Amino acid sequence: MRVAFLGLGIMGQSMATNLVNAGHVVTVWNRTPGKLVEGAAVAPTPAAAAQDAEVVWLCVSDTDAVDDVIFGKDGVEQSLVPGTIIADSSTISPAATVKFADRVRAKGVAWVDAPVTGSKIGAREGTLVFIVGGDEASVERLKPLFAAMGKKIFRMGETGKGQATKLAMNLQIAMIFEGFAEALTLATKLGVDAQQLLALIEATMVRSGVVEYKAPFILQRDFTPNFPLRLMHKDIRLTLEAAKEARVKLPGLETLEEIYEMATEDGNQDLDYAATLTLLEKWAGVQVKGKAA
Ligand code: NA7
């Protein structure tokens, strides 16, 4: 298929590469010039990238970025023709997604929200899980592209439901990690070895995918971003906003938002969200260590 891929950050770069490797004809655009994908053409603007594309795929930071890329100066909107599909793998507001979709529907264009889970490694290895909202026919048409970038698709309902579900998923990731980080901090302060605690976690119902993914990084004190803290913070805020609109109270997440605020004040925003651990360690006056660290 002819695909325009917009946004070559940690996730987008690998996703676009996997589309090229699967034989699709890809044109890329990134706000800051200089980011390239081998085998893909480069366009100077989103509008130019979207010209003649059957599918415009986005993976940019946040709701404002999606708004800019689609509706801003030299935005995709100028190049849209009936039958084009916009697929958005950014994690953004579900309410804004529905508004954006309504606006492009007037041009005969379908909007499929397709946020992902699987982080940097999943993007690189083509094993992302897509959490999708959109009409069935459009989702069906996108299947070869999903297959090139991921291992599974879950269609959660109409447009917007992918983003709504993604927020509910990241709420859990953030809270599960926080539980793990608090447990590690307390155990270390009480003189329990972190590696022994981990062995116990893995052998019991306390184990989780989040812990399995994050533990090796933590034990090596490697906080380089797989999923940057600033983006998880953005998702926590989006979740609290969506909850407020729906009159849902999320007291645990409200507290966690304050922790992310303080971790940001400490200058950790561009590290992985696992760096929230360092704040707990600072308060406790300990450092969690593995044998390799
Ligand atoms: P990154 O690595 O921070 O990349 C963000 C991308 O978004 C990057 O290409 C940015 O371009 C682009 N961006 C940010 N703001 C804008 C605006 N205003 N206009 C156009 N492009 C913009 O994030 P990830 O790849 O880890 O994650 C992307 C999304 O997936 C995010 O929603 C996550 O929550 C999930 P730049 O290179 O800075 O010019």
Ligand 1 centre distance from Cα of residue 264 (Å) = 18
Say yes or no: CB of residue 68 within 6 Å of ligand 1: yes
Say yes or no: CB of residue 9 within 6 Å of ligand 1: yes
Q: How many domains does the chain have?
A: 2
Report the C-alpha gap between 152 and 168 in whole angstroms: 18
- pLDDT over 70 at 105, yes or no: yes
Say yes or no: CB of residue 61 within 6 Å of ligand 1: yes
| Mean pLDDT, residues 258-279 | 97
> Which pLDDT belongs to residue 119?
87
Segment 15-19 long-range contacts (CB within 8 Å, at least 24 positions apart): 15/57, 15/59, 15/89, 15/123, 15/128, 15/149, 16/40, 16/57, 18/123, 18/126, 18/148, 18/149, 19/57, 19/145, 19/148, 19/149
- pLDDT over 70 at 146, yes or no: yes
E strands, 134-273, in order: 150-157
Residue ID of nearest Cα to ligand 1 atom 14: 61
Q: In the structure encoding, which two tokens stand for residue 87, read together?
A: 């697929």
Single out the residue in 118, 142, 158 at which a domain terminates. 158
pLDDT tier for residue 161 given thresholds of 50, 70 and 90: very high
The predicted-structure confidence for 43-96, as pLDDT tens digits, reads as follows: 999 999 999 999 999 999 999 999 999 999 999 999 999 999 999 999 999 999
Neighbours of 140 (CB within 10 A): 10
* Sole residue written with tokens 């979207």: 50
With vertex at residue 117, the alpha carbon angle to CA 141 and CA 215, rounded to the nearest 5 degrees, is: 155
| Mean pLDDT, residues 177-193 | 98
Single out the residue in 102, 130, 158 at which a domain terminates. 158
Average pLDDT value over all residues in the chain = 97
pLDDT tier for residue 290 given thresholds of 50, 70 and 90: confident
In angstroms, what is the C-alpha Rg of the chain?
20
| Mean pLDDT, residues 118-122 | 92
* Residues catalogued as catalytic: 166
Verify that 184 and 144 share a domain, yes or no.
no
Single out the residue in 104, 133, 158 at which a domain terminates. 158
| Nearest 10 degrees: Cα torsion 107, 91, 27, 118 | -140
Say yes or no: CB of residue 91 within 6 Å of ligand 1: yes
Ligand 1 centre distance from Cα of residue 134 (Å) = 22
Domain that holds residue 171: 164-284
Ligand 1 atom at minimum distance from 32 CA: 39
Structural domain contains residue 291? no
Verify that 151 and 189 share a domain, yes or no.
no
Ligand 1 centre distance from Cα of residue 67 (Å) = 12
Verify that 141 and 176 share a domain, yes or no.
no
pLDDT tier for residue 293 given thresholds of 50, 70 and 90: low
CA-closest candidate to residue 104, choices 124, 85, 90, 126: 85
The helix/strand/coil state of 166 is helix
- pLDDT over 90 at 188, yes or no: yes
Ligand 1 centre distance from Cα of residue 225 (Å) = 14
Backbone angles phi and psi of 9, in degrees to 5: -85, -160
- pLDDT over 70 at 292, yes or no: no
Say yes or no: CB of residue 270 within 6 Å of ligand 1: no
CATH code where residue 170 lies: 1.10.1040.10
The helix/strand/coil state of 85 is strand
CATH code where residue 13 lies: 3.40.50.720
The predicted-structure confidence for 196-234, as pLDDT tens digits, reads as follows: 999 999 999 999 999 999 999 999 999 999 999 999 999
Backbone angles phi and psi of 22, in degrees to 5: -90, 5
Structural domain contains residue 261? yes
| Mean pLDDT, residues 179-183 | 98
Neighbours of 2 (CB within 10 A): 12
